[in-house]
Amino acid sequence: MTSQLATPQPSTTKILLGIDAGGTFTDFVALYPPVSGRPVQVHKTLSTPDAPERAILRGIEEMGLQQALANGELSIVHGSTVATNAALEGKGARTVFVTNRGFADLLEIGRQTRPKLYALEQPPARTKVPRELCVEVPGRIDAEGNEIEELSDAAIAEAVAKIAALQPDAVAINLLFSFLAPATEERLQSALRKALPDCFVSRSSEVLPEYKEYERGVATWLNASLGPVVYRYLSALSQALGTTPLQIMQSSGETIAAREASLAAVKLLLSGPAGGLTALHRLGAELGVQRFISFDMGGTSTDVALLDGAPATTNEGTIAGLPVGVPMVDMHTIGAGGGSIAYLDSGGMLQVGPRSAGAMPGPVCYGQGGTEVTVTDAHVVLGRIDANASLAGNLRLDVAAATRAMETLAQAMGVDIKTAAEGVLAVANEEIAAAIRLISVNRGFDPAQFRLTSFGGAGGLHVCALAEAMNMTRALVPANGGVLSALGMILARPGRQLSRTVTAPLAQLSDADIEQGLATLADQGRAELHAEGQAQACEAQPSVDLRYTGQSYTLNVPWRSREQASQDFVAQHKRRFGYVHDTELEIVNLRVKVAATGEQPSYPKAGTADSAEEPHKGAVPSIERGQLGTVCHAGPLVITEPAATTYIADGWQVQSDAIGNLDLVRIR
């Protein structure tokens, strides 16, 4: 499929608009040119999952930016859940999987890993490609990249005819060792594009030129099956936006033009959450803080991450139980958000999530027909969300409906309403705390040495409880934290992350050999950015994947020299696994991150009032965030703002810093 999307480039003289389309709300942040003197503008509107572009256009109208859109004064960076939702729901395009003769079961067999080590009976693996959509071809490349059986033109023609008869929307080509010798895959791809010009064709040597045929095959199949879905969405959005520059956030934290994004759908699976970590890193630079444990809690899920400097990326992410070998920010996602539904399981135990009320009907308190208690309803019942708060979509809280729903759950539990609501929050908090332990304690990090940071619309309501659960005494709720992912998108830089498998004993290669391979990848990244229209200079950050000889897993370390890489690997292995080997090291993959270095917008400062108002009296005292002033306030206290709510628990105090962040300190 040939992309028809335009790639006009952003300008620092335009209004920069970040848009994060989530499952429940779509968030907007507008940064105006410095000469305008206008403050940052934030907005939320209910998402429209059936057609996400509708919520985007509605939000632009509600923000009063329609005229700016018509005049070409906007530049948009967008994070989308379209690829994620299609993967989770199994709603990708009809995709044919092409592989070597005898390997039709490659994706079905997988790695035969056990998700539950001690379970005697394992559920069958998710069927990825129906057998009738698997096409085998002759020809073979060996592990050294040598052709040991040719794929003839006649065999290619026969394969193309078989594929055409299956009437696919997309084709994924995954041949053994193609990352060493891509020519055969390229010939197949060329023949398919000529015979089926409307078919989306992906080849593994382009999507993920690395070893491990299963992981490479899954990434290629995901890219192919999601490609038409993403292309249709971005085409519809681009058409609605006209000539407005449109960049898309990638899972790795860099942006990519919409035209190229439609061809790289597998790189968009963590599009939204990556924005939040980008913003947090920039905020840390403003504050002089590098170590954060963050949780981004929205309406449907919570994303947990650890930052020890710049956001880390991983090539071992998963989506819908499938490995995703392309770079993505290193985070852990669980199905616990503000809209997560609470219920009693068959054994009478209280459970929360992963099922969510979503945008429609949403929590019971939204008054849109919801009947099942959610995490948000528990906060409403406990008075932690202002009953008079105005929500996105002009919704008003229906406290009475939330209370009635909680009464039903409380009766089933055999407790009073307050205890039931506290129980819902306790279960949700423990699920998030378990995720925090997974990305910190389980990797050799002490959470007490980090600052807990919450963002997302629901994050501030849980920050104190989670800090206590992790024995942390400091927490931070950033200014505009309810829309931090949208803010991060306009602070991100255009970029690419490229890789190539080399697999050799580290001692057998010289520094010059390795640097030559890294330079080739860097040149490729710069060429792609320049082809996208990025005229500014680019910087390259090289790294390598190392392992002890005989291991199957690798650790990524920055590249400066073989000696330094070896030292960094040993230190990281010791921290991660608790031991080191007296064994030769092996280099497996070369990696390069290339990013544009042009002028970036400054991190917006919200500021704070010179003097503080007294909190409003109520079940829990409350105060608007802008009226906190610079004095300390002790909990319990509810801090309200248009895009989020923060609950300061008893035993905590809060103070607004010079740029509007909430600095929380545990006092007992």
Element (H, E) at 226: helix 213-241
Rounded Cα–Cα distance for residues 267 and 274 (Å) = 11
Phi, psi values for residue 528, rounded to 5°: -65, -40
Give the pLDDT mean for 30-37.
86
**pLDDT digits 0-9 by tens, 273-332:** 899 999 999 999 999 999 999 999 888 788 899 999 989 888 888 887 788 999 999 988
Distance between CA atoms of residues 122 and 171, nearest Å:
30
Instruction: Give the mean pLDDT of 480-504.
Output: 93
pLDDT (tens digit per residue) in 161-210: 999 999 999 999 999 999 999 999 999 999 999 999 999 999 999 999 99
Distance set, CA 175 to CA 27, 147, 211, 316 (Å): 41, 12, 11, 21
Per-residue pLDDT of 523-538, as tens digits, reads: 999 999 998 887 677 8
Distances (CA, A) of 493 to 151, 539, 600: 41, 11, 8
| Mean pLDDT computed over 553-562 | 94
More confident residue, 196 or 9: 196
Distance of CA 407 to the CA centre of its chain: 36
Rounded percentage of the chain residues whose pLDDT exceeds 90: 66
Highest mean pLDDT among 9-18, 121-130, 639-648: 639-648
Q: For residue 164, which amino acid is it?
A: A
Q: pLDDT class for 9, splitting at 50, 70, 90?
A: very low
pLDDT-derived band at 8 (thresholds 50, 70, 90) equals very low
**pLDDT the model gives residue 182:** 96
Q: Which residues pair with 17 in a beta bridge?
A: 30, 76
Kindly provide the b/e burial profile for residues 226-246, where b requires at least 16 CB atoms within 10 angstroms of the residue's own CB: bbbbbbebbbebbeebeebbb
pLDDT for residue 10 is more than 50: no
C-alpha to C-alpha distance for 448 and 436, rounded to whole angstroms: 12
Of the listed ranges 369-383, 389-403, 409-423, the one predicted with least confidence = 389-403
Burial class (CB in 10 A: 0-12, 13-18, 19+), 589: buried
What average pLDDT does the segment 598-620 reach? 74
Asked whether the predicted pLDDT for residue 2 surpasses 50, the reply is: no
Joined tokens for residue 170: 């997309």
Residue 214 is encoded by which pair of tokens? Answer: 């299963």
Is there a contact between 504 and 513 (Cβ–Cβ < 8 Å)? no
Cα dihedral angle (436, 441, 444, 447), rounded to 10 degrees? Answer: 70
400 and 377 Cβ atoms separated by less than 8 Å:
no
CB 105 within 8 A of CB 127: no
Q: Is 338 helix (H, G, I), strand (E, B) or coil?
A: coil
Whole-angstrom distance between the N-terminal and C-terminal Cα of the chain? 61
Whether the per-residue pLDDT at 484 is higher than 70: the answer is yes
> Which segment of 28-37, 53-62, 240-249, 398-407 scores lowest on mean pLDDT?
28-37
Determine the pLDDT at residue 3: 38
pLDDT the model gives residue 390: 66
| Residue 511 binned pLDDT confidence (cut-offs 50, 70, 90) | very high
Tell me the pLDDT tens digit for each residue of 202-230: 999 999 999 999 999 999 999 999 999 99
pLDDT value at 496 more than 80: yes
Q: How far is CA 368 from CA 96, 364, 373, 398, in A?
A: 41, 7, 13, 10
Which pLDDT score is estimated for 537?
79
Residue 392 pLDDT level (bands cut at 50, 70, 90): low
- Percentage of the chain beyond pLDDT 70 is 96
pTM value surpassing 0.75: yes
Task: Report which listed range, 47-56, 468-477, 600-609, is most confident.
Answer: 468-477
Q: Cis link prior to 361 (omega < 30° from 0)?
A: yes
**Which residue has 């939330």 as its token pair?**
402
Position 5 confidence tier, pLDDT thresholds 50, 70, 90: very low
Q: For residue 450, is pLDDT > 90?
A: yes
Per-residue pLDDT of 86-132, as tens digits, reads: 887 788 999 999 999 999 999 988 887 777 778 888 776 666 789 99
DSSP track, 148-165: EE---HHHHHHHHHHHHH
Strands 474-477 and 451-455 turn out to be parallel
The answer to whether 155 and 136 have CB atoms below 8 angstroms apart is no
Dump pLDDT digits (tens) for 329-379: 998 888 888 999 999 999 999 999 888 887 778 899 988 899 999 999 999
Contact present, 226 and 83 (Cβ < 8 Å): yes
39: pLDDT confidence band, cut at 50, 70 and 90?
A: confident
How does the average pLDDT of the chain come out, rounded? 90
Kindly tell me if the per-residue pLDDT of 634 is higher than 70: yes
Nearest alpha-carbon partner for 329 in 533, 79, 101, 115: 79
Average pLDDT over residues 4-31: 74
| Distance separating alpha carbons of residues 538 and 495, to the nearest angstrom | 9
